[in-house]
Amino acid sequence: MKGTLVDRGRTFRLPLTPLSLLSTSYFTWKEKKEMIRLILLLPKIAAKVAENENLQSWAEREISSPRVRDYVYCLCRLSTYCSNPELVTARIVLEQLKLSMHGVLYVNGGWQQIVDGLAKRAMQSGATILNQHQVTSINGAYPEITVGVLNDKVITTKHVLSTISPAHTYELLPAKEKEALTVLNQFKPVFGASLDIVFNQLPSPRISFALCIDQSLYFSNHSSGAKLGRHKHQMVVHVYKYLDVNEEYEPVKIKKELEAFLDLLQPGWQKEVITSRFLPRMLVSHALPDNNTKERLNELQVLDRVLPGLYVAGDWLSDKYMLADAALSSAKQAALSIIKDSTRRGGVVYRHSGTL
């Protein structure tokens, strides 16, 4: 992918491919050599990093050039959405970076296509999907768990798989069980701010992707890789800021930063806007993977004893994978556990006896 790298207001060729790395004027030859060495060694490095080392401590030891280090942080932000190298586990981030080196697929119609396709397959297999039903409580234990839904409806079932955030799952539990599961409140969610714009056309169409080194900013014209707008010529663009998990942000200030980034990349963009929305604090992931992730996940193993029949899945439940990979792997694991439990007890996997 051709792209632009921005550093302190100056633009360079983004060194994402071997060719662009050799031709970019951003790095000196010495820095290019260090970057090439890192890319070549990445598969081995990722596997060798100590389990509890954070990204910053790894990078300060392994990368001598501060500019190469900042660029590696920038690539890690891009592939993990985490903007806290001093907290995030190096091993998991480098594994994710390794995965993203294979390239990215942009889906025509966006993520909704995947969600719709999955929902269709589930319904074809006999699942009932209730949209717009906010769960307000989870009570009881196997073999009779009741799930309260807004509007006083109740579903009774043997097993529940909660895929909402750990903190929200905690909120839904009875007071007694909460005491043993306070670990659910110890996961730190990751947020981002996004300015999404549909353009008639882009003032500088040759710039479709950009990363900023000195600020945690990203620009992408997703329409250059997938069909997203209603009309062929329309461009769906995301300008994004990776948020630090420990900082408070003022939405107005962030919006100005994102607009200034657009001014630099697409001067005169305001004239081409069809519609836009600004999301100052969008949830990206339910947990930043840090050095305590493993410990927290171990602590959570009491769930089976405290609330038999309740399972959890989501992107916060892995010390190996991140984001959607973590959500899917934990969901598969939970589903297999439910099937195993049902088979062991000689029951059916799912019984819907609610009043919905």
Ligand X SMILES: Cc1cc2nc3c(=O)[nH]c(=O)nc-3n(C[C@H](O)[C@H](O)[C@H](O)COP(=O)(O)OP(=O)(O)OC[C@H]3O[C@@H](n4cnc5c(N)ncnc54)[C@H](O)[C@@H]3O)c2cc1C
- Residues contributing to the site for ligand X (CB under 6 A): 134-135, 163-164, 168, 192, 194, 282, 284-286, 314-315, 323-325, 327
Question: Which strand ranges, in their side-by-side order, compose the sheet holding 144-149?
Answer: 135-141, 144-149, 153-157
Closer of 288 and 323 to ligand X (Cβ): 323
Tell me the closest approach of the beta carbon of residue 23 to ligand X, in angstroms: 27
Q: Roughly what angle, to the nearest 10 degrees, separates helices 55-62 and 66-80?
A: 150
Closer of 239 and 327 to ligand X (Cβ): 327
Tell me the closest approach of the beta carbon of residue 67 to ligand X, in angstroms: 26
Tell me the closest approach of the beta carbon of residue 79 to ligand X, in angstroms: 8
Tell me the closest approach of the beta carbon of residue 168 to ligand X, in angstroms: 5
Beta-carbon count within 10 A of 33 CB: 13
Tell me the closest approach of the beta carbon of residue 114 to ligand X, in angstroms: 11
Tell me the closest approach of the beta carbon of residue 313 to ligand X, in angstroms: 7
Residue with tokens 């630090």: 244
Tell me the closest approach of the beta carbon of residue 181 to ligand X, in angstroms: 16
3-state secondary structure string, the chain?
Answer: CCCEEEECCEEEECCCCHHHHHHCCCCCHHHHHHHHHHHHHHHHHHHHCCCCCEHHHHHHHHCCCHHHHHHHHHHHHHHHCCCCCCCEEHHHHHHHHHHHCCCCCCCCCCHHHHHHHHHHHHHHCCCCCCCCCCEEEEEEECCEEEEEECCCEEEEECCEEECCCHHHHHHHCCHHHHHHCHHHHCCCCEEEEEEEEEECCCCCCCCCEEEECCCCEEEEEHHHCCCCCCCCCCEEEEEEEECCCCCCCCHHHHHHHHHHHHHHHCCCHHHHEEEEEEEEEEEEECCCCECCHHHHHHHHHHHHHHCCCEEECCCCCCCCCCHHHHHHHHHHHHHHHHHHHHHHHCCCCCCCCCCC
Beta-carbon count within 10 A of 103 CB: 8
Tell me the closest approach of the beta carbon of residue 226 to ligand X, in angstroms: 12
Residue 27 near residue 68, CB atoms below 8 Å? yes
Closer of 194 and 223 to ligand X (Cβ): 194
Closer of 323 and 338 to ligand X (Cβ): 323
Closer of 63 and 211 to ligand X (Cβ): 211
Closer of 46 and 323 to ligand X (Cβ): 323
Closer of 58 and 191 to ligand X (Cβ): 191
Tell me the closest approach of the beta carbon of residue 271 to ligand X, in angstroms: 26
Closer of 299 and 325 to ligand X (Cβ): 325
Closer of 63 and 149 to ligand X (Cβ): 149
Residue 57 near residue 63, CB atoms below 8 Å? no
